[in-house]
Chains A and B, each alone.
Chain A
């Protein structure tokens, strides 16, 4: 009886261990793969930076990408930022009103937008709207052998395809962030005036310290970094598409997922960096 139960235990243990072993193996495999991909992405980014000196040769593509990525995103980003500003003003306004502190709405909404909401909303809209489309477009080009055709013609795909796309994001995302900041604050100001009797002038007065400080520029700086991350991930995923149409779908999805993760992780790191290094210098 004793012996039998022991054998059973051992058998069960073997089963669990091999399950755990396999799970660990799989997790390890996935981690290794992601690490390799990340490494590949970094290399692509370095390669792209090295191509910046050739930017003169891709100006038409750059213009087209700025138009698509930048101008195309203004309306939806403004809508979302404006609504967020209004919602935030409403939600915080009620609480502040209880304590009679609603005069500070401008400072609160200003801080949230300049520091986080502006850059993050901009990144989310761009990665969903533009990053996914970039990955799909480049992925389709890979599947149709168009990228091979470029290589055979001695046209470097990093210069011809990646550089204008990443650069277009680096140019347009900080501007879009500024727009999101402005519209978000405007939305907040409108609600503050309509619901909490905080005049626009009061709202501005409360926000002015922030507006004059370096926070706006920190946000813009962050959005430039996000642009590099999103552009590089989208192009890398697109360029490494395999398995035809199905692969294009995978490239698109993983661009969105990876971009969200990396944008948030880098946001955390950048905030720490700003607090530790930049604030002591710029305030």
Chain B
């Protein structure tokens, strides 16, 4: 579909129309339910009513242009930002297995939720003063207070799971690792507490194609073997179609498209089509250039 034929059918306001979360796939329960989430930074309205369901055990990929608020959305899911408006509820992760309501959650609830949460940060976010062993084992040492032998065992297991030569790198500092290895170590740290939910912020940006595939396979693998629910932010279309169960598009602070891979391919939404084709003409680049 070319942009010139699609444009007359889509006015700017229609482009921004939010989609309501679709009916659950195969009757599954939503684990995470986001409703009408808003966020301002100063006068700027970044998230403008995000509504999204994430189902137990699925991998949801969130696409979106630079600055569309993807990381901001993820930070809400990390409980780093509380919803200023709207609701985020997560099933059975609050203290005592209750549902978590992000707006009214106590510190104890948040702590219990985070115990079930792994986050892969964009730049891996390893602590530079610590070795790989200390980095990956950090939550076990600091939160679970496990003895050193047990920590080491779990760290080695976790590093093996991300296909790293554990024995070789255990005592290296992050600065001595390549970018791809660092990211894998970041993933190893994210999964070491065996989380139920993993959030990935652009896990493959800046990596070579082989490592990209490695990280993608790892995401799939973790979903299959550990049954985790994953939310993945990425700019990489191949990755999105490789790992996603469903794909959502964040545009101008709203989810404007959300569906399975096939639905996404067939969705005529111009922003989505522009992201899929990588065309430089389209609503994402409107007003840029000449």
Contact = CB atoms under 8 A, between A and B. Distances in A.
Interface in B126-145: 126-129, 138-139, 142-143
Interface centre among B80, B127, B193 (most CB of A within 10 A): B127
B114 A145 contact: no
Contact of A141 (B115, B127, B139, B143): B127
B41 to A, nearest CB: 11
Given A146-B127, A148-B78, A148-B80, A153 B121 contact: no
A152 B128 CA distance: 17
B119 interface: yes
Contacts of A149: 119, 121, 125-127, 189
Given A154-B111, A155-B143, A144 B123 contact: yes
Interface in A113-158: 141, 144-146, 148-155
A144 B142 contact: no
Interface residues of B, number: 22
Contacts of B193: 153
B72 interface: no
B141 to A, nearest CB: 9
Given A144-B125, A145-B125, A146-B126, A152 B142 contact: no
B117 interface: yes
B122 to A, nearest CB: 7
Contact of A155 (B126, B128, B142): B142
B139 A155 contact: yes
Contacts of B127: 141, 146, 149-150
Nearest to A161: B127
A160 B115 CA distance: 18
B47 to A, nearest CB: 18
A56 to B, nearest CB: 11
B142 A153 contact: yes
Main secondary structure of the interface of B (DSSP, over half): loop
Contacts of A151: 78, 80
A148 B190 CA distance: 13
B115 A154 contact: yes
A57 interface: yes
Nearest to A57: B142
A152 B192 CA distance: 13
A141 B125 CA distance: 8
Contacts of A57: 142
Interface centre among A141, A144, A154, A155 (most CB of B within 10 A): A154
Ranked nearest first, the 6 interchain pairs of A and B with the lowest CB-CB distance are: A149-B125, A145-B125, A153-B139, A145-B121, A152-B119, A155-B142
Interface of A: 57, 64, 141, 144-146, 148-155, 160
28 contacts: A141-B127, A141-B128, A144-B128, A145-B122, A145-B123, A146-B125, A146-B126, A146-B128, A148-B75, A149-B121, A149-B125, A150-B127, A152-B80, A152-B114, A152-B119, A153-B114, A153-B138, A153-B139, A153-B142, A154-B111, A154-B114, A154-B115, A154-B139, A154-B143, A155-B138, A155-B139, A155-B142, A155-B143
